[in-house]
Amino acid sequence: MKTEDKPVILVTNDDGYRAKGIQALIEVVKPFGKVVVVAPSEGHSGMSHAITVKVPLRIEKVEEKEGFEFYICSGTPVDCVKIAMNQLLKEKPSLLVSGINHGANSSSSIVYSGTMAAAMEGCLYEVPSIGFSLLDFSKEADFSSCINPARKIVGNVLKNGLLPDTCLNVNIPNVPENEMKGVKVCRQNKGVWREEFDKRTDPNNREYFWLTGEFYNLEPEADDTDEWALHHKYISIVPVQTDLTSYASLEQIKKWNF
């Protein structure tokens, strides 16, 4: 098959273009088609769906060869998707993949995740999209165990598609591939981050604060969640939608006296 006849796959992340995770994700998708990478020039973890509006965006092509292009973008993960769709790609890609994130994006972490924001931006462009994360926050994390499982998931999405307004949040446990127990399609766990700010003083005797915190699982016994799956060495797949409407509340609120 000629390169121009192959599916176009857009790759991005939130850890920056140098991250080991995005290199692993490139290896995952290379067999499926032409790969176009648009990655942030620096890390944007925790930036969620932020976009750049007060300064110019800049892009730089750093590599091009048969079936492969690599660009660096000065903006956020969502900026990377937007500029790729608007300026770099001649047609809508067949798939968008984001990651592989250094650290899990399970439970409520999805709210803060730049990795998943990029995938959700893909939804807004009606592109089947997947966010991948590995439960290892180290910059030197070993992503070798992710390659084959992620490749199977990508193959399934390309073959079967996804419902409109839906992307996948895929989290992979930090264990060797032969110790993974399989895949669980599950729901998002109910959990919260309890933030604490460490108050410090700089050399000029000015106060500043450093964000710390701890995750609290609010339903540790539930066995149908992403947190349970990861804890028990399963890959978790949670279908996610961009429609944030609370449909369960619609009729209740309509009865209020406005």
Does residue 206 carry a pLDDT above 60?
A: yes
Span 47-81, pLDDT tens digits? 899 999 999 999 999 999 999 999 999 999 999 99
| Closest among 109, 80, 105, 124 to 169, alpha carbons compared | 105
Q: Any idea how long the chain is?
A: 258
- Both tokens of 101, joined, read 């994130």
Q: What is the rounded CA–CA span in Å between residue 35 and residue 26?
A: 8
- Average pLDDT over all residues of the chain: 94
**DSSP 8-state class, residue 4:** G
Q: How many CB atoms lie within 10 A of CB 156?
A: 15
Element at 71 (helix H, strand E):
strand 68-73
Tell me the CATH number for domain 3-189+222-243.
Answer: 3.40.1210.10
Task: Please say whether the beta carbons of 181 and 232 come within 8 A.
Answer: yes
Which of 11-25, 67-81, 198-212 has the least mean pLDDT?
A: 198-212
Span 242-258, pLDDT tens digits? 999 999 999 999 999 99
Average pLDDT over residues 223-245: 96
Average pLDDT over residues 14-27: 96
Torsions phi, psi for 203 (to 5 deg): -60, -20
Q: How many CB atoms lie within 10 A of CB 215?
A: 15
Span 117-169, pLDDT tens digits? 999 999 999 999 999 999 999 989 999 999 999 999 999 999 999 999 999 99
Tokens 């944007």, located at residue = 44
Predicted pLDDT of residue 47: 85
Task: Please say whether the beta carbons of 171 and 230 come within 8 A.
Answer: yes
Non-local (6+) Cβ contacts of 229 within 8 A are 171, 184, 186, 235, 236
